[in-house]
Structure 1
Amino acid sequence: MHANPHDAGAWSTLGVLLRRSGKLNVAIACHNRALNCAPENANIWTNLGNALTEAGRLADAVAAQEEALRREPDNPRVAFNAIVGLRQAGRFAEALALIDRAGGATADPALRWERALIRLQIGDYVHGFDDYGARRALPTYNGRSATLPAWDGGVLDGRSVFLTSEQGLGDALLMARYLPLVKALGGRVLYEGHADLRRVLSGLPIDEYRGWGGPVDGDVEASQMDLPGLLGTTLASIPPPVRLTVPEEARRKALGILGPREPGILRVGIVWSGRVTFADNARRATGLAPFLRFAEIPGVQLYSLQKGPPEAELAALGPARQLVVPLGPELEDFADTAAMVEQLDLVIMTDSSVAHLAGALGTPVWNLVQYVPYWIYGFTGAWTPWYPTMRLFRQGMDLDWRPVFDAAAGALRAEVRRRTGH
């Protein structure tokens, strides 16, 4: 930069590199410096918009992308970035219109994937699942490559269908409701699943539960994430959660750890982070600190169901660690977690696989969700048709978690009064 401080391209390139390394505020400053030198450059405007989106400045991001579009309305990269910015800002109708204007959505996997996410978010499942298969053509797709003929969702007539888990543990729990429906079509169900879920899914009509990554056999195959589309799911025909298996040995373990109930005390489980390697986890997760305000409420005892690296935050409580009982070290798989959840009155958490577990068990769960959350939660309202016992507390467009925790704390005080009379 010392060679030519007015080199707009160099400033914007530096901004792109800084954004990729997570230094968003500096990246935004570099892009703005580039625009001081070349205000008509659409590529700089769209790069700025990308950085603003990642920084959570959604309205500013959309404005930057609109500036880029105004200068180069036929630039495919600019159009795509604008579509992503509009979707993440919750401006779905505008994003769909821009996809239509961009053309080629049926041929361009990235555009079709964006359209799938939008359609599913707004509850248009019929068309959304039509586009959902476009994910397989994306460079980021990490599912299995198909080796058997694709199952079309029809009657199996004794054939074997190989169903593979795809995406996360929560997705597998979400889609487990479809396994009895697949079995009812008259075939053998070969299910490739996560080891952590083997015990809780053991009561389902699965002919063989396979560990992840083994050989593929059978007559036809499908991903679990294709099942809603293959079986014709609409917003009005979502199957109820499946009954999970909680082994008696897991229940005995949970009772031994939690002990007898204390009168007048509400047992509240908490989870503040999902899998840290998940690309969107930084948006959907918080730290432990905001959850500690629930410990201020008389009549509440917190229990941590958190697993993974974020568990280390509990140690930072020091002498105050009794505010939160750590259950994570006792949880060897999801059967152990399910047994603990059964003994709790309520789970409050940011979105991750435990939300699906609690929802499937029928335990009340308050899910604190990001502004544009996972598509099953829609975009408005306090409830989701996928889990009748789940209540949603939503971020606003400013992505500020404080109002979300304010609302949850107020609701928890009311819940304590309702349950204990205090």
Structure 2
Amino acid sequence: MLANPYDAGAWSTLGVLLRRSGKLNEAIVCHNRALEYAPENASIWTNLGNALTGAGRLMEAVAAQEEALRREPYNRTAMFNAVVSLRQAGRFAEALAMIERAGGPAADPALRWERALVRLQIGDYVHGFDDYAGRRSLPSYNGRRATRPAWDGKALDGRSVFLTAEQGLGDALLMARYLPLVKALGGRVLYEGHEEFRRLLSGPEIDEYRNWGGPVDGDVEASQMDLPGLLGTTLASIPPPVRLRVPEEARRKATKILGVREPGTLRVGIVWSGRVTFADNARRATSLAPFLRFAEISGVRLYSLQKGPPEAELAELGPAQRLIVPLGPELEDFADTAAMVEQLDLVIMTDSSVAHLAGALGKPVWNLLQYVPYWIYGFAGAWTPWYPSMRLFRQGMDLDWRPVFDAAAEALRDEVRRRTGR
């Protein structure tokens, strides 16, 4: 209980604390209670907007931020929060205008990062990758801090370049396509990457594969996430995915586990969640339950590629878990996963690292996307130039997954008919 139930500031502070702990509906109630006592308070309106954004009530969130700015037009905190709400609502031109209204990157490095996200989302790669470098100025930046001279993307002329993976596993696979281009510039490539990719990425484009977190050497260094900007990537010049080297022992293991194919059926891999510690995973992921409708389709056999805590949902199915072959316990690294994906007909999933893996292998993968997804998927259309074998199924602004699964299920029925004649 609050000491003073009429204290608007106390109600809003409680709302902020609830939002930070993930209790978004309770936070919204608290901010609305605060507005009963202080309807002119811009800070409360912008706090409400933040909670509404987190809850996926995007139109209401933008309206709340507009109310905050109507009351205090020069409130920089409200302007920044409005930028975030507008971007997540897909109102990109308005988000860019609000960034300029707020003073642009000169006023706050976080505005440069927001501008990078917007520009990349709309395909403005030339300016977007320039802004992307601004992530290093953010307090939340957790990439490796440079200790060697920064590489400028020019010819190496015999020098060694230390490249480090940054961000998630999917990002590392996405950016691995640049490794052959770096090697072609005439130097030695020292690659600091995830151990999970060692068997897949070890090849002539890498001179030394290092475990992440060791000492840095080399004449110059760069983050893998800097490579698109350093090498001048535009929408028209995206390099193809790197060639992944799937070990024969991994293929033999996959063949043994998958066994003899049942005639007239499609082997469909599924993944319903990415890494649970990723801040945006709750938006991009679902539970296992919606994927069960694919098992209703005659001729479809489901194989779980899911790893991590969400694997436990398989056991919760009880006897129905027999509808899905659990491959997760057999996957020791991404080479094992790649060998399994090679022998499946299709992968259907919410966005995570396996989507990048399947796309890099050139296997058909249907990616079920949140309303404003990762920037490589843009904001409209069923395809991405980053992965030609990937088909996109998109949420609407209501963030409802049901129409996404409806569309994927209908497409899967068509795919079964096309491949098997059923």
In structure 2, C-alpha distance between the alignment counterparts of 1:165 and 1:11, rounded to whole Å = 43
Query: Counterpart in 1 of 2:133?
Result: 133
How far the C-alpha of 1:204 sits from its partner, in A, is 4.5
Query: Counterpart in 2 of 1:173?
Result: 173
How far the C-alpha of 1:261 sits from its partner, in A, is 1.5
How far the C-alpha of 1:104 sits from its partner, in A, is 3.6
In structure 2, C-alpha distance between the alignment counterparts of 1:121 and 1:346, rounded to whole Å = 27
Q: How does 1:17-416 map to 2 (within 5 A)?
A: 17-106=17-106, 108-416=108-416
Q: Deviations over 1:170-216 (max 9, x none)?
A: 11110010000000000100000000000010125100000010000
Distance of aligned partners of 1:12 and 1:60 in 2 relative to their CA distance in 1, 3 Å threshold? same
Q: What letter corresponds to residue 288 of structure 1 in structure 2?
A: L
Query: TM-score, normalised on structure 2?
Result: 0.99
CA contact (8 A) 1:179 1:204 kept: no
Distance of aligned partners of 1:299 and 1:40 in 2 relative to their CA distance in 1, 3 Å threshold? same
Query: TM-score, normalised on structure 1?
Result: 0.99
Secondary structure, counterpart of 1:368 in structure 2 = strand
Q: Deviations over 1:325-359 (max 9, x none)?
A: 00000000000000000000000000000000000
Q: Deviations over 1:280-332 (max 9, x none)?
A: 00000001000000000000000000000000000011111110000000000
How far the C-alpha of 1:3 sits from its partner, in A, is 3.1
Distance of aligned partners of 1:150 and 1:2 in 2 relative to their CA distance in 1, 3 Å threshold? closer
How far the C-alpha of 1:2 sits from its partner, in A, is 4.5
In structure 1, C-alpha distance between the alignment counterparts of 2:58 and 2:95, rounded to whole Å = 14
Secondary structure, counterpart of 2:301 in structure 1 = strand
In structure 2, C-alpha distance between the alignment counterparts of 1:72 and 1:199, rounded to whole Å = 56
Secondary structure, counterpart of 2:339 in structure 1 = helix
How far the C-alpha of 1:262 sits from its partner, in A, is 1.5
Secondary structure, counterpart of 1:417 in structure 2 = helix
How far the C-alpha of 1:87 sits from its partner, in A, is 0.2
In structure 2, C-alpha distance between the alignment counterparts of 1:2 and 1:240, rounded to whole Å = 58
In structure 1, C-alpha distance between the alignment counterparts of 2:64 and 2:274, rounded to whole Å = 31
Q: Report percent identity of matched pairs.
A: 86
In structure 1, C-alpha distance between the alignment counterparts of 2:217 and 2:27, rounded to whole Å = 49
How far the C-alpha of 1:107 sits from its partner, in A, is 5.5
In structure 1, C-alpha distance between the alignment counterparts of 2:137 and 2:97, rounded to whole Å = 23
How far the C-alpha of 1:106 sits from its partner, in A, is 4.1
In structure 2, C-alpha distance between the alignment counterparts of 1:342 and 1:305, rounded to whole Å = 12
Q: What letter corresponds to residue 329 of structure 1 in structure 2?
A: P
How far the C-alpha of 1:92 sits from its partner, in A, is 0.3
How far the C-alpha of 1:243 sits from its partner, in A, is 0.9
In structure 2, C-alpha distance between the alignment counterparts of 1:114 and 1:2, rounded to whole Å = 36
For structure 1, the residue ranges without an aligned partner over 5 or more in a row are: none
Q: Deviations over 1:83-107 (max 9, x none)?
A: 0000000000000001111114245
Secondary structure, counterpart of 2:139 in structure 1 = coil
Q: Deviations over 1:234-278 (max 9, x none)?
A: 011000111100000000000000012111010000000000000
Equivalent pairs, count:
422
CA contact (8 A) 2:194 2:212 kept: yes
Secondary structure, counterpart of 2:254 in structure 1 = helix
CA contact (8 A) 1:65 1:78 kept: yes
CA contact (8 A) 1:156 1:187 kept: yes
CA contact (8 A) 2:2 2:10 kept: no
